[in-house]
Every structure is written in C-alpha cells, then in structure tokens.
Structure 1
Amino acid sequence: MKKAKIHILVTGASRGIGQAIFESLDQGMITVVGQSTSGEGGLISSDFSQAGAAPALWQQALDRLDGRIDVLINNAGLFESNPIAADDWLESWNRTMTINLTASAELCRLAVLHFQNRHEPGRIVNIASRAAYRGDSPDHWHYAASKAGMVAMTKTIARGYAKDQILAFAICPGFTMTGMAEDYLASRGGDKLLTDIPLGRVAQPEEIASIARYCALDAPPSMTGAVLDANGASFVR
C-alpha cells in the first residue's frame, strides 16, 4: 500500500525562520503550503491583522491539500517597538497580540478539531521565543507576552489532547539572523549584545528550521509538550 504524503501548513513562510522551515520540508513524501501577508511566490496571502484571516487561511490550505492537514507550524509573527509613552501603545499591543497569539490560537483550534474529526494523529509546532521566559526590552512588553502565551497554549494543547494522539511542541529561539533580529541588534548596539551569548553568535534560520522539522516529523510522541530552547546558552532553564 502506497504511503500517503504528509501535509503541512507553515505560516510566515516568506522569509527568515519561516522560509527556512518551508524549504526544509518541501521534499520527498511531504507536501507543504505556506502563508505570508503578500502571498508572493505561490504562498497563500493572509493578513492576520484582519478578522477572519486565520480561518480563511485554514480553508485555503485544506483546499490545496486535498482536505487534509497533518502538521501545523505557526511561525508568523510581528516584532515592532512599542515605547510605553507612545500614544498608540494599546493599539500596538493589540496588533501584536492579534498577529502573534490570537491567529496562532485560531489555527491551533482548527487543527485540533480537524485532527479529532478525522480520528487521526496530528502535530502542532509553535515558534515562540526566548522572550517567553527571559522577557524582552522595555519597548517589547507585548512581544514577550505574546510568546509566553504561545508557550502556555502549546503546553495546554499537549496536556489536553495527547489522548487523541495530537502532539504539540514549542520552539524558543534567541536572536536569529532574520530581518527582525538584524533591526533589533542594530538598535541595541549590535555586536555588544553578542557578549551575552556564550556561543558567540546568533542562530541561523536553518538551525531553527532543523528543530521544527524534527518536531513536525520525527520527535517521539512522549516528547509532546516539550519546549525546545535555541539561544546559544544566553538563557538556560
């Protein structure tokens, strides 16, 4: 009997970690579809700041994947400065929460229901951040809070649905060489921040992608609920 391909949805797949994850999966017995805001390069266009975007993306992904998704990888995220004295502080807070946490939660909910309705195993991989545990700069309360929420959500899904063979993992990168990290490093003194990373460098997107691929395809079921750190020992738990 021919083995069915594994169908995977990756959000935030147009650059950085998401692009590296997408490219690492697009091979062999895997069919992967990706999301980005613009939808360039054959990705599905979905703006998570807009109401209804996550459910619409899920349906479009199902349409492209013959009605079956086996793995959801939530990577899409927003990282923007939000000084506490800013007049639009709450607006920025809400926008980050909507994109980073609420959209991911909507997709996780749809994935769990999909796996349950099909009576088949499924996996969820959430890309969080070191900031979930260590916190972030004074201008990034919202980012740290959104990623902490993502970790708590992942653990809750793992505990609640392991009986259904629905597995959930979170990955917490530190600085990774993406556009977001480059901007942040430049704003915070560049190389001076590297002194806080015992490894002496930031991570490469391909390193995080290799962890995501492992969680999506090979991690043993007993690992469900695990939070994997990848920060060059800049924060150890």
Structure 2
Amino acid sequence: MSNPILLITGASRGIGAATAKLAAQHGYHVIVNYRTEAQLAEKLVNEIRQHGGQANAMQADMRDEASIVALFDQILENWGPVCGLVNNAGILETQKSFSELSLERWQRIFSTNVFGPMLCCQQAIKHMRQHQLKGSIVNVSSLASVVGAPHEYVDYAASKGALDTMSKGLAKELAAEGIRVNTVRPGFIYTEMHADGGEANRVDRLAPIIPMQRGGQATEVAEAILWLLSDKASYSTGSFIDVAGGR
C-alpha cells in the first residue's frame, strides 16, 4: 500500500518545513508546496529522502485559484488523492498601527491567509469524497486571532480570525463524512516570518510576557499538527490547540 499523500502549503521553511520532516517520519508522502523558494523546497525534499522518507516539491501560488486547482490535479495524476492537508502558507507585512493600513495590504493578506486555505480545502474535499477517504485537514492559524495583535498586525490577526471561523464551520459540515478539520494556533515561534514583519528578534523581545518565559520552536508546533492529522485524534474535529507557552 502506498504512503498516504499529505499536502503542506508554504512548506519550504519554518513551521511548514518542520511539519514536513515529521510527517515523512510518520510515513506520509509529503508534498512540499512553495510559491517562490524553490531551492529551499528542493533542499528539504532531498533531506527527507536521505532519511528514507517520501517527498516532492511543487510550486503553487495560494493567491491564485487556477494555480491551486492545477496543484491538486497534478498531485492526483502523479501520486494519488490527497488524504491530508495542512494549510500552513501565510503572510504578514511590516508592523504598523491600524490607521496606517491600506486596502491593498488587507487584500494581499486575506488572499493568502484566508482565500488560499478555503480554496485548498475545497480541492482536498473533492479528493477525499471522490476516493471515499476519511481525511484530515489542519489549518495553521495564530494566537493573534485571539489577542488581536494591536499596534502590529491587526489585519493579520483578523485574517487568522476568519480562518478560525471557517475551520469551525467546515468541521461541522464535514463531520458526518469522516473528514476532520482542526486548527493549531501558534504563539511566538522562532521562524523567519518575524523578519518579514520587520523585526527578526521579535520573539526574544516578547519572551518575558509569555508565561513559560520563552518562545516556541517550529518542531513543537509540528507535533501538534501531526497529532491532529493522525488517527490518534479520531474523535477530534472543530478543535483548537494553542501552542503558545500558556499565553
């Protein structure tokens, strides 16, 4: 029997890459999706293969419906239906107060952080239904959806709030079909994303306000994602795991 196909979006670095490595160790054939960082994605795939795992890198832009549809079609044609999906791709932009934010910025963030995962969910559900799979979807949100990220990323937080709501509704809609939808909400995690927002050392600056007094590692988030994907979480859907050091 072939390894189950798991698609991880935005998997060339950070939480996505850590999840890809761990998933391969758990016997998944991992599809490492990337938008622009082909070299990083191929390096990750090679590392997984060197350790005996199965992986392939595939480009697709989460802002573009045609690109997402083509991604799922190519996966099906080459390896089979997707039985697991991790919606990990996400962006944020430079820290600013809400009054400084533009509509264009909001549109960019929501295109990737909300519409992309929704489109991927639609395509994954098609695969699962057509092939009668009891699949699992894990959406990577953020604790920002709860705390709001004032003075920094209110728009990013709002996009993750939308993702949380979609996850809850979709979980209830699909539960009777055996397709589970759950969410992981990371807190302050050491990833390259903070540099995208203009403050590479943000986690260290904010560590004192975290009850555990430290930032988290991408591997710690990956463990939660893999549990939700697995049959060990067979009675969990519409659930949220906060990996945030007690925040």
- TM-score for both structures, normalised by structure 1: 0.89
Classify the secondary structure of the residue corresponding to 2:199. helix
Classify the secondary structure of the residue corresponding to 2:62. coil
Give, in angstroms, the shift of residue 7 of structure 1.
Answer: 1.2
Partner of 1:156: 169
Q: Distance in 2 between matches of 1:157 and 1:232?
A: 27
Q: Equivalent of 2:139, from 106, 120, 126?
A: 126
Give, in angstroms, the shift of residue 185 of structure 1.
Answer: 8.5
Between the aligned residues of both structures, percent identity stands at 29
Classify the secondary structure of the residue corresponding to 1:52. helix
> Do the aligned partners of 1:44 and 1:60 also contact (CA within 8 Å) in 2?
no
Partner of 1:24: 22
> Do the aligned partners of 2:68 and 2:120 also contact (CA within 8 Å) in 1?
yes
Does 2:113 match 1:100?
A: yes
**Which residues of 2 match residues 175-190 of structure 1 at below 5 A?**
175-181=188-194, 186=199
Q: Distance in 2 between matches of 1:63 and 1:138?
A: 46
> Do the aligned partners of 1:8 and 1:71 also contact (CA within 8 Å) in 2?
yes
Give, in angstroms, the shift of residue 157 of structure 1.
Answer: 1.3
> Once superposed, what is the RMSD of the aligned Cα atoms?
2.1
Go from structure 1 to structure 2 and tell me whether the alpha carbon gap of 1:199 and 1:82 turns closer, same or farther (over 3 Å shift). closer
Go from structure 1 to structure 2 and tell me whether the alpha carbon gap of 1:222 and 1:194 turns closer, same or farther (over 3 Å shift). same
Give, in angstroms, the shift of residue 43 of structure 1.
Answer: 1.6
Does 2:216 match 1:203?
A: yes
Does 2:76 match 1:62?
A: yes
Unaligned runs of 5+ in 2: 43-55
For 1:91, give the aligned amino acid: E
Q: Distance in 2 between matches of 1:171 and 1:7?
A: 20
Does 2:204 match 1:194?
A: no
How many residue pairs match? The answer is 230
Q: Equivalent of 1:45, from 59, 67, 78?
A: 59
Q: Distance in 2 between matches of 1:189 and 1:6?
A: 37
> Do the aligned partners of 1:11 and 1:35 also contact (CA within 8 Å) in 2?
yes
Q: Deviations over 1:45-94 (max 9, x none)?
A: 1122345222122222223323x1110111000011263454x7111100
Go from structure 1 to structure 2 and tell me whether the alpha carbon gap of 1:64 and 1:199 turns closer, same or farther (over 3 Å shift). farther
- TM-score for both structures, normalised by structure 2: 0.85
